[in-house]
Structure 1
Amino acid sequence: MGLNDGAALRMSNVRLIDGVSTEAVDDAVLEADDDGWITYAGPAAQAPEPIPGVRAIDGRGGTILPGLFDCHTHLGVASDRSILEAALLTDPVVGVL
């Protein structure tokens, strides 16, 4: 699923760290479409007008860092519980990895 699980949204009253600029943007707005794509992220003064019916979130002065995704993986390691069980649940004297 995308950023917003299938519903367009507008988040306002946030501090934006965009990962490009050297400074954070205070009083920022972030908008995302129905597919979770960010359509605007920047100063509130330059933001497009809110679209009626779009889910609005007041960020209460919090900070956002949009656009991140989970790319954590362990290549070459089994994805089942056997490693966990062997490493943590078996007596190392009698267990074999």
Structure 2
Amino acid sequence: MNDVRDGLLLLEMDENSLEKYTYSLKDMRKVIIYALSESVSNYWPELALNWLQKKPEYLDSDVLYWIDNLIKDKNKYSQKVRHLATKIRKNFLEIPST
């Protein structure tokens, strides 16, 4: 992946488009973390959260850290986005580790 912005554009075009491209797990985590850390609007975090709902295999402790930060910041993120983040965190914590 040349740039995180490439992944964000694909995320914006179609959340499923990322499967058509050869992005490593590490690269995709960079895209997701960047989107979750975006605090100017709810747009990128919401896209990333929607994608994580469909692809929970991209959740790890780093992504969870940004999800927790998002949940705590009531001034920057909408209730809808924070609720979705809470749901994803709860589902992640319930997944039994193998």
TM-score, structure 1 as length reference? 0.22
Higher radius of gyration, 1 or 2: 1
Higher RCO (CA-CA < 8 Å; seq separation 6+): 1
Structure that is richer in strand per residue: 1
